Amino acid sequence: MKKNIYDDPVFFNKYSQMERSIKGLEGAGEWTTLESMLPDFSGKRVLDLGCGFGWHCQYAVERGATSVVGVDISERMLAVAKEKTSEEIVYVHEPIETVNIAQSSFDVVISSLAFHYIEPFEGVLGRIYSWLVGGGDLVFSVEHPIFTSEGIQDWCYDTNGNIRHFPVDNYFYEGRRETRFLGERVLKYHKTLTTYLNSLIQVGFEITGVVEPQPSESMLELDASLRNELRRPMVLVVSTRKR
C-alpha cells in the first residue's frame, strides 16, 4: 500500500498532539460548519472516507446511525480509532481511491479534509455516487482551492515578520503540491473550485450547500490570532445529494 505521512511515526506523534486530535471534533475550527451541513444520521448507514481517529464515525453512532464504516489509509490512525471509539464501527484499512464497496450500500457518505490528498477526483466521485442510494447525501470538507493553489500554504510576510497577505499562484495548474505541515514534507493535490463543484454536477450530485467556514465570535475571543483566518479562506465544505 502507498506510504502515507500519517504512518510516519514522527509526523504521527506531532499530529496526535494537535488540538483537533486531543479535543476531537470540538478542536477542529471547521466542525461547527460541517456539523450544520450534515443530514440526520438516525437509522442511516454511514461511510466516512479518510476517517482518521474516527471522531466523525463516533459522532454518527451517537446520532443514531445503524451502521458506520470508516476508511483510512493510515494503520496508526486506525489503531487509535479502534481503541477509542465505539466497537460497532467497522474500520477498513484501504486507500479511498481503491477501496471496494458494493453499490447502494450507504445512505450518507462523509469525508473530512481528505480529498486534497487524492489525485483523481472525478473517478472517486463516480464510485461514491454508486455506493450511495438514490437521495443519499455526500458531505465533505477540503482544504480550499485558494489555500492549496500556490503550494507552500504560508502567508507572505513583510520584513518585520508581519503578515502582508496570502499568496495565490499556479491556480489552474492542478496536481501535486509539496508543502510542510508540522515540520514534515506532505504531498497534496491541488484542484480548482471548478473541478470540485463541476465534477459533482457532472457525476449527478445536486449541490445543496457550499460554505467557507470562518472562526466564530467565541473562537475569536478565545484566540485572537484566529482573526487572521478572516483574511483568507482555508476550508471549503460542500453538501450534495445523489439525484
Binding site for a second copy (CB under 8 A): 146, 150, 156, 164-173, 192-194, 197-198, 201, 206-212, 214, 230-233, 236
Smallest distance from a second copy to CB 141, Å: 13
User: Which residue, 171 or 189, has its beta carbon nearer to a second copy?
Assistant: 171
**Through-space distance between the first and last CA atoms of the chain, rounded to whole angstroms:** 34
User: Which residue, 16 or 170, has its beta carbon nearer to a second copy?
Assistant: 170
User: Which residue, 46 or 236, has its beta carbon nearer to a second copy?
Assistant: 236
Smallest distance from a second copy to CB 136, Å: 18
| Cα torsion 123, 126, 128, 131: sign | negative
The C-alpha cell 494503520 sits at: 75
| C-alpha span between 213 and 227 (Å, rounded) | 13
| C-alpha span between 119 and 10 (Å, rounded) | 25
**CB burial class (10 A; 0-12, 13-18, 19+) of residue 230?**
exposed
Smallest distance from a second copy to CB 229, Å: 8
User: Which residue, 126 or 167, has its beta carbon nearer to a second copy?
Assistant: 167
Smallest distance from a second copy to CB 99, Å: 28
